[in-house]
């Protein structure tokens, strides 16, 4: 699919990053979930946050989107402290797709995607032909124009995810945060959604997402952020980050790391206890 840009998008002020966490600490009650994290989101690439369950991946994404207020440190969006920006202005710069979003029953695809234009509406600025053009373009970019009149709750999981991504695009932003966009999808539909993410990246979007599938994360990402226990273990390109030693440290996982036969990224081959006992693999890590 050939993807065109949404018009009216401005590039980041800081050439090194669109979005960054600087010494961010997040607490839930007396428990520290993120501890003085520093994360930089490079512009125009796909950044994926990986790590074991409960390590703080979604918390970090929600903090970057300003849904959570850090107890310490700050989040910087296009060179400005995100805490000082109006909610409407943040929504014009940054689109967030949360985990397992639910649309009101009977709401059509077109109506849902139209809601992405709400940050641009006011009593002085009502719906215009420009808004309609942006919605039409967002539907086309995600390949769901033919579904515009269908109720969202009648769609397959993969179609719904495309529609929700379309709504975030309709906000007129080229910075997208996706929290586990492949959750509950079978492999074919997960690949379909990640191919869309790749198309959006090729069109100039900066994407930050949380994924559980490590091989899909390495294949579709330019930048990985590896977390464990609220801390960052490594950041960088998958070729530079993914090693057997890192996988063991982050996940407690024994694995072989080989070249992906269909790409230029590493491929992770997990090693189960039975394979070690049968002598099929020599354990690299004790």
For the chain, the domains span 19-104+172-236, 242-286
Handedness of CA 44, 217, 3, 183 (dihedral sign): negative
Please state, in angstroms and rounded to a whole number, the distance separating the CA atoms of residues 107 and 192. 23
Please state, in angstroms and rounded to a whole number, the distance separating the CA atoms of residues 144 and 124. 31
What pLDDT, on the 0 to 100 scale, is given for residue 12? 37
Q: What is the dihedral of CA 148, 151, 153, 159, to 10 degrees?
A: -20
Handedness of CA 56, 58, 62, 68 (dihedral sign): negative
Q: Are strands 175-179 and 95-97 parallel, antiparallel or unpaired?
A: parallel
First to last CA, the chain: 46
Q: In this predicted model, which residue has the larger pLDDT, 143 or 21?
A: 21
By three-state DSSP, how is residue 34 classified?
A: strand
What are 90-118's pLDDT values in tens digits? 888 888 888 878 888 889 998 898 887 76
Is the model's pLDDT at 1 over the cut of 50? no
Section 125-134 average pLDDT: 70
Q: If residue 88 lies in a helix (H) or strand (E), which one and from where to where?
A: helix 87-93
Q: With left for phi above 0 and alpha for psi between -120 and 50, is residue 111 left, alpha or beta? A: alpha
Is the model's pLDDT at 246 over the cut of 90? yes
What pLDDT, on the 0 to 100 scale, is given for residue 122? 53
Listed residue (71, 26, 34, 47) closest to 241, CA to CA: 47
What pLDDT, on the 0 to 100 scale, is given for residue 215? 95
What pLDDT, on the 0 to 100 scale, is given for residue 234? 94
Report whether 181 contacts 168 (CB < 8 A): no
What pLDDT, on the 0 to 100 scale, is given for residue 168? 84
Distances (CA, A) of 230 to 38, 53, 64, 224, 270: 11, 11, 14, 15, 24
What are 26-60's pLDDT values in tens digits? 998 888 999 999 999 999 899 999 999 989 999 99
In 3-state terms the chain splits into helix, strand, coil percentages (rounded to 5) of 35, 25, 40
What pLDDT, on the 0 to 100 scale, is given for residue 126? 59
What pLDDT, on the 0 to 100 scale, is given for residue 138? 83
What pLDDT, on the 0 to 100 scale, is given for residue 121? 54
Report whether 244 contacts 285 (CB < 8 A): yes
> What does pLDDT average to over the chain?
84
What pLDDT, on the 0 to 100 scale, is given for residue 129? 64
Section 215-241 average pLDDT: 94
* CATH number, domain 19-104+172-236, options 3.20.20.70, 3.40.50.1000, 3.50.50.60, 3.40.50.300: 3.40.50.300
From the centroid of its chain, how far is CA 200? Answer: 12
């Amino acid at each position: 699919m050939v993807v065109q840009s949404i018009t009216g998008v401005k590039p980041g002020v800081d050439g090194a990053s669109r979005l960054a966490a600087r010494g961010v600490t997040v607490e839930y009650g007396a428990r520290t979930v993120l501890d003085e994290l520093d994360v930089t989101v490079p512009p125009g690439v796909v950044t994926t946050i990986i790590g074991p369950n409960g390590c703080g991946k979604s918390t970090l994404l929600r903090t970057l989107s300003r849904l959570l207020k850090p107890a310490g440190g700050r989040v910087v969006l296009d060179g400005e402290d995100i805490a000082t920006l109006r909610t409407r202005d943040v929504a014009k710069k940054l689109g967030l797709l949360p985990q397992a979003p639910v649309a009101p029953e009977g709401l059509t695809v077109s109506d849902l995607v139209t809601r992405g234009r709400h940050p641009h509406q006011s009593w002085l600025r009502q719906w215009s032909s420009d808004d309609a053009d942006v919605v039409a373009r967002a539907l086309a970019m995600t390949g769901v124009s033919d579904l515009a009149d269908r109720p969202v709750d009648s769609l397959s999981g993969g179609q719904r995810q495309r529609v929700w991504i379309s709504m975030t695009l309709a906000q007129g932003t080229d910075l997208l945060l996706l929290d586990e966009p492949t959750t509950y999808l079978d492999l074919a539909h997960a690949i379909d959604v990640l191919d869309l993410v790749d198309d959006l990246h090729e069109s100039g979007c900066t994407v930050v997402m949380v994924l559980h599938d490590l091989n899909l994360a390495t294949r579709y990402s330019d930048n990985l952020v590896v977390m464990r226990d609220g801390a960052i273990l490594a950041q960088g390109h998958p070729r530079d980050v993914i090693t057997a030693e890192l996988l063991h440290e982050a996940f407690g996982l024994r694995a072989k790391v080989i070249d992906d036969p269909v790409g230029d990224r590493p491929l992770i081959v997990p090693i189960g206890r039975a394979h070690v006992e049968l002598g099929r693999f020599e354990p690299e890590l004790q």
